[in-house]
Amino acid sequence: MKKCYTFIMCLVSISFYFVTNNCCSAEKQNLVDVNNFVAISIDEPAEKVYCRTVPFLSVLPEKRTGTKRIITPQSETIPVNIKAKTVYLLGMINDGWDQGVAFWPEHPELVMDRQDQLYVGVKIGDVIIRYADGSSDSVPLIMGQTAWFHNWWSEFTEPFNSRPELLEQWNKHSKLREDRSKILPETRNQRYFLAIKPQAKMIESLIVQDNPMVRGRPLVAGITVSTNSLVGSCVAFANEKIDSDDIASAIVSNDMGDWSADINAMADILYTSDKQLPISPPLLQMPKDINAASITFSGGQYAKMLSNIWVANLTQIAKYKFDPNTGFFGESQVGCPSYSLSITHNLQLILY
């Protein structure tokens, strides 16, 4: 992904931006009767759950008492042994590391390849569909496309509250389906699903491959397939009413195409890029009630932004962070629930 993001946005936890009130809404429309959905039996004690209108068998990883998964440090192999029209994968989160960046005490600022950073376009692993004839298809797990956040996509409300048109764009570019009723930690395994159309041949297994260069581990918490066959390790779902939009495949396993345009469009929604910066931002003046040196940089667009950063930072220190009566200096603005809000406050001063 060829984009250049401003340094300040690289440091801000993407949690401040990653939310919507109704992303991929679970409204039940265009319900159709379905009798060919089958769950692959994987974990114990799994229960029947729904993501939107699609049924699955699933249990949280920490509550498993038994599993058919073959687990290694960097992969999980799940036996499937069925021929499917569509494969529905439940979970699709980066389990164990569900935030965009580590908090300040941990920042290795001079390290270019950081395992803690998650943002649109980062690959957290692959789902490999292995067929009985020995061939395979590989589906990349890309943040924003085939995987996404849980906790940090639940707490905040911007930019979609103030700009609802961005929500429509976001849904257009994502491959996932989301159930907004499953935002609590105990339902993180039920929040998203990905619908894949595999090749028309017997699937032996699914391999969930982890990217060791990124913290966390991809979670596939359940597998449901649409099929005309039924084997002993499967559980049939009869007489289900499923939204026709949920039934449709989001990707074709052996013909996925180029996702770069979708990735860039989603990044434009959440991040500030060079092309979005004001060409000539107005210069801020140091407040008269603050006794501090004024510094003005010369050199165009970025010089003006640096000048405004100086004013904004000193203003925040003087008015919100430093108490002259006690000598106490706050790391973040007093009353600020997240350091990202503090930085965003500065960013608004700079740009607007």
| pLDDT reading at 343 higher than 60 | no
Beta strands in 97-176 (DSSP E): 123-131, 136-142
Q: Identify the weakest region by mean pLDDT among 1-10, 81-90, 162-171, 196-205.
A: 1-10
**Whole-angstrom Cα distance, residue 88 to residue 194?**
6
Cis peptide before 79 (omega within 30 of 0): no
**Whole-angstrom Cα distance, residue 205 to residue 80?**
5
Burial of 196 (0-12, 13-18, 19+ CB in 10 A): buried
Helix H or strand E encompassing 314: helix 301-316
pLDDT at site 63 = 97
* Closest by Cα among 60, 36, 58 to 49: 58
With cut-offs at 50, 70 and 90, classify the pLDDT of residue 336.
low
pLDDT at site 19 = 35
Higher pLDDT among residues 284 and 101, named by residue: 284
The ranges assigned to domains in the chain are: 25-143+174-256, 278-351
Q: Provide the sign of the torsion angle of the four alpha carbons 213, 99, 349, 105, taken in this order.
A: negative
Q: What pTM, to 2 d.p., does this model score?
A: 0.79
Count how many Cα atoms sit within 13 Å of the Cα of residue 18 in the half-sphere of its side chain: 23
Q: Position 172: which residue type?
A: K
Residue-averaged pLDDT of the chain: 85
Burial of 123 (0-12, 13-18, 19+ CB in 10 A): middle
**Whole-angstrom Cα distance, residue 285 to residue 86?**
60
**Whole-angstrom Cα distance, residue 177 to residue 171?**
9
Beta strands in the chain (DSSP E): 31-34, 37-40, 43-44, 47-51, 54-58, 66-67, 70-72, 75-82, 86-95, 123-131, 136-142, 177-178, 192-197, 203-210, 217-226, 234-237, 240-243, 251-252, 322-323, 328-329
Q: DSSP letter string over 185-226? A: GGGGGGSEEEEEE--SS-EEEEEEEE-TTSSSEEEEEEEEEE
pLDDT in tens, 143-191: 999 999 998 888 766 788 788 898 889 889 999 999 989 999 999 999 9
| pLDDT reading at 337 higher than 60 | no
pLDDT in tens, 245-270: 999 999 999 999 999 999 999 999 88
